[in-house]
A = this chain, B = another copy of it.
Amino acid sequence: MPNKPPPKTGIARSDAQSIHVREMNLVEELIGKVTFTEMMLLHFYGRMPTRAEARTLDVVLVTLMEHGITPSSIATRLIYHSAPDSLQSAVAAGLLGVGSTYIGTMERCAIYLDEILKGAERGIERARSIAEMHFRERTPVHGFGHPFHKPDDPRTQKMIDVALEEGVSGRHIEALRILSHEVDEVYGRHITINATGASAALLGEISIPLKIMRGVAVVSRSAGLVGHILEESGTPSAPHIWEAVNQAIPYQRFE
């Protein structure tokens, strides 16, 4: 239990008359004036976001919210079935799947982009080494490739277009394009930039720190998981999921 720099919080304060979040008056300045997305950015930035920032975050939040039947949504449905009086548990169980396997690739792609941007005129060179390293090690380039969406992920271009139209600087998007160009060269074929890669670039454009980038996906997926619970509450699938998994994983004597 080390006791180093004095702790403090600058998030919220309230008294009998007023509530402030990040020094904005909740009732006078926020309720009815800002969207959820703007409020979320106010929380992160400590200042009101610009229109470009909010619209760009909306692009990412809208894109990541829903992917149908996934490990996360299956977990949420099963836990809702097992503890229907505790909706928050079902959402939490699904969110625990927003981890390194899927969403972790967003952070790792963001690290590439930071690398490329730090390189200034040597950015292309750095992009080249990233692509070559993965080619050599036969590991996937994070943010690239998709099992179904070929040759291109339909979301990527749209996400980038909207952000640019809204007026973000375009530096991270440019870094992603540089990387994409080098990846295609090194691999000798076109590999799509997927929605996770595009998300990394857009969140970079609006200065979301790498440390909480995964949190944007967590927030977005939480809404989708509540939607799955709503469907599950009307048309329960959990017993069928259970049965299907039982069929899919046969028992075999342990050696």
Contacts and interface: CB of A to CB of B under 8 A. Distances in A.
A129 interface: no
A244 B248 contact: yes
Contacts of A70: 242
A93 to B, nearest CB: 4
18 contacts: A8-B237, A8-B249, A9-B235, A9-B237, A9-B250, A12-B68, A27-B154, A39-B62, A43-B66, A43-B224, A74-B75, A79-B96, A87-B214, A91-B95, A93-B97, A95-B222, A241-B249, A244-B247
A31 to B, nearest CB: 5
A26 to B, nearest CB: 7
Given A218-B222, A244-B248, A99 B75 contact: no
Ranked 3 nearest A-B pairs via Cβ: A83-B99, A10-B254, A215-B226
A244 B240 CA distance: 10
Copies in the complex: 4
A133 interface: no
A227 B11 contact: yes
Nearest to A85: B100
Interface in A214-255: 214-216, 218-220, 222-224, 226-231, 233, 235-255
A207 to B, nearest CB: 12
Given A97-B82, A240-B3, A254 B214 contact: no
A77 B97 CA distance: 10
Given A23-B253, A88-B89, A219-B226, 13 more contacts: A8-B250, A19-B154, A27-B154, A32-B158, A39-B62, A43-B224, A68-B251, A69-B242, A71-B242, A74-B242, A75-B78, A84-B100, A240-B249
Interface in A9-66: 9-19, 21-23, 26-27, 30-32, 34-37, 39-40, 43-44, 46, 55, 57-59, 61-63, 65-66
A162 interface: yes
Contact of A95 (B12, B88, B240, B243): B88
B88 A9 contact: no
Contact of A69 (B81, B209, B245): B245
B246 A245 contact: no
Contacts of A30: 62
B222 A219 contact: yes
A31 B59 contact: yes
